[in-house]
């Protein structure tokens, strides 16, 4: 089965090729086999052809931090402080969620992601068999974790589910699923619990994914409890000896950044600008991270907090926040936020050998963005238009591992309206009286 995309403007996002070029892409058996020039012979072999005149072809967007099933809790509780929002609203609601709720909530989120150009996402949640099944059924790529919180009951069940995810789902969905270990955060994971999570990761050779220094409350709590910064705490327990995804990392000190630099952090930071803005958390020091040589990707955080999973919005927010933080419009530029949303995000999620750039041999995770719109005219600088003017609604076609999941804005696998009806009914039951 081969797919030819012809007459596109191609933005490969390869480090050495910053400017878009006109050309074609050939995909065979889920992989990219030609970029730019496709021979007449190869063209003749293509079973399916997409005419991409007026469209940009670029790598699918990589969402480095999500709690996808929380789409079922979207809009239910707004304008609270994070700790209050979690303990008084989200956790009681989550306690009522069934495996089926998580399956459908995740599936609804995948619809939103596919429609806004995201092809891979990292997730941390519960009922992870259901999350994994939804990823398989959606056709997307997922980097999954079972969120591990040290709560009074159920530690054994949590670790059992984390283990099952690693043993049963790593490599599932024709290799579209990979699994990490997800201790929730410094303030929800005491040292022995964190060590247990690290041992599990070591046993399976898996990376880890954790929240870090999201709020000033967290920083104060860890200071009181351990007389450390959250980063120092994680370092001492030994987390940074592994590939790790650090979500948020808003309140890191110069000393913390020095630690991450010194350990030669494998993995990187999942920056969630809109969630940080909306929850009033603060502005992460992205400029300092990049100057220290750390890898930074972009994420949305769960649809309960960020309220949308549109990565184009995250690109804009990331750039605007760094500019206003530094009082400097030259800070974090269009090309950089596009890299964060694609090639850099793939590195953070340890997916860079498979996706993140349009390179021969990589998996065909590709989006086509329709530039034939008033708000994307004139075409002086496609990079700037994509980073600052486009939105998820401009995505025309979404392809994962060579499979077309949306074409000309029509989903090929999932029934959006049926999912909306089902999730709406379930959301009512879950949130009643909370």
Ligand X SMILES: N[C@@H](CCSC[C@H]1O[C@@H](n2cnc3c(=O)[nH]cnc32)[C@H](O)[C@@H]1O)C(=O)O
d(CA 380, CA 186): 46
Between 301 and 310, whose beta carbon lies closer to Zn ion?
301
Residue 142 has phi, psi (to 5 degrees) of -135, 140
Q: How far is the CB of 126 from ligand X (least distance, A)?
A: 5
Residues in touch with ligand X (CB under 6 A): 67, 82, 86, 90-91, 94, 124-126, 147, 149, 158, 184, 211, 214, 275, 301-302, 305
Cα 426 to Cα 81, 96, 97, 303, 306, distances in angstroms: 25, 10, 9, 16, 20
17 a known binding residue?
no
Between 178 and 305, whose beta carbon lies closer to ligand X?
305
Between 44 and 156, whose beta carbon lies closer to ligand X?
156
DSSP single-letter state for residue 358: -
Q: How far is the CB of 319 from Zn ion (least distance, A)?
A: 21
8 A C-beta contact, residue 269 and residue 299: no
90's contact among ligand X, Zn ion, none, with CB below 5 to 8 A by partner kind, is ligand X
* Structure-block tokens of residue 346: 């793939």
d(CA 410, CA 327): 42
* Structure-block tokens of residue 378: 């004139």
Cα 150 to Cα 122, 305, 359, 386, distances in angstroms: 21, 22, 42, 41
Q: How far is the CB of 287 from ligand X (least distance, A)?
A: 22
8 A C-beta contact, residue 365 and residue 349: no
**Neighbouring-strand partners of residue 122:** 143
422's contact among Zn ion, ligand X, none, with CB below 5 to 8 A by partner kind, is none
Task: Report the DSSP pairing between strands 141-148 and 177-179.
Answer: parallel
8 A C-beta contact, residue 142 and residue 131: yes
Between 211 and 426, whose beta carbon lies closer to Zn ion?
211
Nearest Cα residue to 231 out of 278, 269, 286: 269
Q: How far is the CB of 7 from ligand X (least distance, A)?
A: 42
Q: How far is the CB of 65 from ligand X (least distance, A)?
A: 9
Q: How far is the CB of 92 from Zn ion (least distance, A)?
A: 18
Residue 214 binds Zn ion, judged by CB under 5 A: no
396 a known binding residue?
no
126's contact among ligand X, Zn ion, none, with CB below 5 to 8 A by partner kind, is ligand X
List the 208-212 sheet strands across, edge first.
208-212, 244-248, 267-271, 296-298
Between 11 and 86, whose beta carbon lies closer to ligand X?
86
67 a known binding residue?
yes
CA 134 to chain centre: 16
314's contact among Zn ion, ligand X, none, with CB below 5 to 8 A by partner kind, is none
Residue 301 binds Zn ion, judged by CB under 5 A: yes
Between 30 and 105, whose beta carbon lies closer to ligand X?
105
- Which positions make up the binding site for Zn(2+)? 65, 67, 211, 301
- Which positions make up the binding site for substrate? 94, 146, 184, 214, 301
């Amino acid at each position: 089965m081969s797919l030819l995309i012809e007459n596109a403007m191609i933005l490969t996002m390869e480090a050495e090729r910053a400017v878009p070029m006109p050309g074609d892409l050939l995909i065979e058996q889920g992989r990219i086999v030609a970029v730019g020039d496709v021979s007449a012979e190869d063209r003749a072999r293509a079973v399916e052809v997409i005419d991409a005149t007026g469209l940009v072809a670029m790598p699918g967007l990589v969402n480095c931090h999500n709690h996808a099933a929380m789409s079922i809790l979207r809009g239910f509780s707004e304008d609270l402080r994070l700790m209050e929002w979690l303990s008084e609203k989200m956790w009681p609601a989550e306690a009522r969620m069934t495996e089926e709720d998580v399956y459908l909530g995740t599936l609804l989120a995948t619809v939103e992601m596919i429609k806004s150009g995201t092809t891979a996402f990292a997730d941390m949640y519960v009922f992870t068999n259901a999350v994994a099944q939804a990823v398989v059924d959606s056709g997307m790529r997922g980097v999954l974790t079972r969120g591990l919180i040290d709560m009074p009951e159920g530690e054994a069940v949590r670790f059992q589910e984390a283990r099952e995810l690693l043993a049963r789902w790593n490599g599932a969905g024709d290799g579209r699923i990979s699994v990490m270990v997800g201790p929730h955060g410094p303030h929800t994971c005491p040292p022995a619990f964190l060590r247990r999570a690290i041992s599990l990761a070591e046993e399976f050779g898996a990376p880890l994914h954790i929240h870090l220094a999201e709020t000033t409350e967290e920083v104060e709590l860890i200071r009181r409890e351990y007389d450390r910064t959250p980063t120092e705490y994680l370092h001492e327990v030994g987390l940074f000896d592994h590939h790790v995804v650090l979500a948020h990392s808003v309140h890191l000190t110069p000393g913390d950044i020095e630690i991450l630099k010194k350990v030669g952090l494998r993995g990187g930071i999942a920056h969630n600008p809109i969630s940080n803005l909306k929850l009033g958390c603060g502005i992460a020091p992205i400029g300092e991270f990049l100057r220290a040589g750390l890898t930074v990707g972009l994420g949305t955080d769960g649809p309960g907090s960020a309220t949308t999973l549109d990565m184009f919005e995250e690109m804009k927010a990331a750039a605007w926040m760094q500019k206003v933080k530094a009082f400097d419009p030259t800070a974090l530029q269009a090309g950089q936020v596009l890299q964060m949303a694609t090639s850099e995000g793939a590195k953070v999620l340890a997916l860079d050998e498979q996706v993140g750039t349009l390179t021969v041999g990589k998996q065909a995770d590709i989006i086509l963005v329709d530039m034939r719109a008033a708000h994307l005219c004139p075409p002086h600088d496609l990079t700037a238009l994509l980073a600052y003017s486009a939105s998820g609604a401009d995505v025309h076609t979404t392809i994962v591992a060579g499979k077309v999941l949306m074409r000309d804005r029509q989903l090929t696998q999932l029934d959006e309206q049926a999912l909306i009806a089902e999730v709406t009914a379930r959301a009512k039951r879950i949130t009643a009286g909370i």
